[in-house]
Structure 1
């Protein structure tokens, strides 16, 4: 089997285990179906997710000029507290920003390598947790816009982390935590503007990833430095492909790379 196209974040479907799909222009691959098979990945060229040109990818699948121009890469994406659509103030494209920012958002706790606080659109639950490789997660507040979610995350970051140790996550060196206890412990630190949106009666969501074998240590595949790679796929977690030789490949981190994928 052979597939060719530009890499984008894998699409997922909640299940036992989670199902993963690579989508290309004319076909798709259910990645779960090729576990324990040999896969070859060959980098062919770049293809910016915005302009489509063969230019080096700068960040988030965009070439450098598009990264600083497209509304889908504004600073408020990574820092939701910078959102201004609720004030009718434009960053790059007010219509786009209103559509993205003025909708229900969730502040959550997720346990990937450790407990961390994060923000996502309500429509992206549980996709966001799956993408982060979290084996358990819980909502803390549901607010009507991205700004309120952002200032809540900033306040809670003083009391709990907001980063994932991706190496620990991929070696499955993680512990279970009582997220309900953590949620209640953090409640007093929620900003006054968001306090009314606290979610009091909910339960943890648990994720089961399709992994046959976790690596003992990890070495990251960079297609710029290693444009051709072949290995046996032993698992999928977060947005990473895990291989038998301890190589891990971040599909989302390689968005905008046009590749050929061959499966033996």
Structure 2
């Protein structure tokens, strides 16, 4: 019998995997099922809940695009060169209403044709309260899981990322467009009547929506008033009363008992750590 399997986390504990951190993979089951890829290993993180774990930073960050060592991670895993040259790192990814493709100044038009010039959805989600967001068609419900939403519902389908951004600008005059991650990690949000909130929001924004539809056409902007509400729950044994953030930059060894996972966060009895924020960090998990 391998006694290491039952040992407390530490330098001699069983190594579960090593390599560059990536955002966790997820399956929208009940509860959400999380897996972490490290090197050649895919680790079932749900199975680790309730057990001690130890994440050791090896002092090296590798760019997720070119794999070169970088002193600092930019935009969740890129070296500075590619952060400043790739279209996927451009400012319009955060502000899609300012689409560079539309202006003829896109860094990579071919990439944009595939990524941005395709169907996107505008949605309402309940993670730390009501919020509006956008995502590509293939990212439902992954986007909602990554945000730690307990409820979500599509409210519009549009023909490009820019149009999704324009609708989001209209809607966020009335609802938030960001998740309060600290509130999200303190527990499950109270259920909301998303269809009623959608109807109220559309009514409040009707003049601006009609103007956008007049400019771009009914085929390009389709408001959806019949979508189902998707409910999600997460593998959490215990939520923290106070959210204390852990980062590998300040604390190269993060360890404790894993109490749960929500969004892209591990909830430990010693604090919470955002795994996606550390993309490209070379680590060992024990």
- 3-state DSSP of counterpart to 2:69: coil
Offset of residue 174 of structure 1? 2.5
Report the equivalent of 1:191. 209
1:59 to 61, 64, 75: 75
Measure the CA separation in 2 of the matches of 1:91 and 1:191.
27
* In structure 2, C-alpha distance between the alignment counterparts of 1:235 and 1:218, rounded to whole Å: 13
Structure 1 residue 138 and structure 2 residue 138: aligned? no
Paired residues of 2:150 and 2:188 also in contact (CA < 8 A):
no
Give 1:200 shift.
Answer: 1.3
1:59 counterpart SS class: coil
Deviations along 1:74-110, one digit per CA (max 9) or x if unpaired, are 112111112243x482411000011001111000011
Q: Which residue of 216, 221, 244 corresponds with 2:269? A: 244
Structure 1: distance between partners of 2:25 and 2:209: 34
1:210: which partner in 2? 235
1:68 aligns with: 84
1:31 corresponding residue in structure 2:
45
C-alpha distance in 2, partners of 1:6/1:191?
44
Cα-to-partner distance string for 1:33-52 (whole Å, 9 max, x where unaligned): 11111110111111111221
1:172 corresponds to 2:192: no
CA separation in 1, counterparts of 2:74 and 2:162?
Answer: 26
Provide the C-alpha distance between the structure 1 equivalents of 2:48 and 2:188, rounded to a whole number of angstroms: 25
- Aligned residue among 83, 96, 99 for 1:80: 96
State how far apart, in whole Å, the 1-side matches of 2:132 and 2:276 are: 20
Question: Is the 8 Å Cα contact of residues 90 and 97 (structure 1) preserved in structure 2?
Answer: no
The number of residue pairs the alignment matches comes to: 260
- Tell me how large the CA RMSD over aligned residues is: 1.5
Q: Which of the residues 224, 230, 249 maps onto 2:249? A: 224
- Check whether the contact 1:240–1:251 (CA below 8 A) recurs between aligned residues: yes
Match of residue 116, structure 2, among 101, 115, 123: 101
Give the unaligned 5+ runs of structure 1: none
1:148 matched to which residue of 2? Answer: 163
Q: Retained in 1: the 8 A contact 2:87–2:108?
A: yes
Shift of 1:58: 2.2
Deviation by residue 1:213-246 (Cα, 9 ceiling, x = unmatched):
111111111101100121000100000000123x
The runs of 5 or more residues in structure 2 that have no matched partner are: 1-13
Instruction: Tell me the distance in 2 between the aligned counterparts of 1:259 and 1:24.
Output: 8
Q: TM-score, normalised by structure 2?
A: 0.87
User: Given that residues 88 and 94 in structure 1 are in contact (C-alpha distance below 8 angstroms), is that contact kept between their aligned partners in structure 2?
Assistant: no
TM-score, normalised to structure 1's length?
Answer: 0.94
In structure 1, how many angstroms separate the alpha carbons of the residues matched to 2:38 and 2:93?
25
More divergent stretch after superposition (21-30 vs 177-186): 21-30
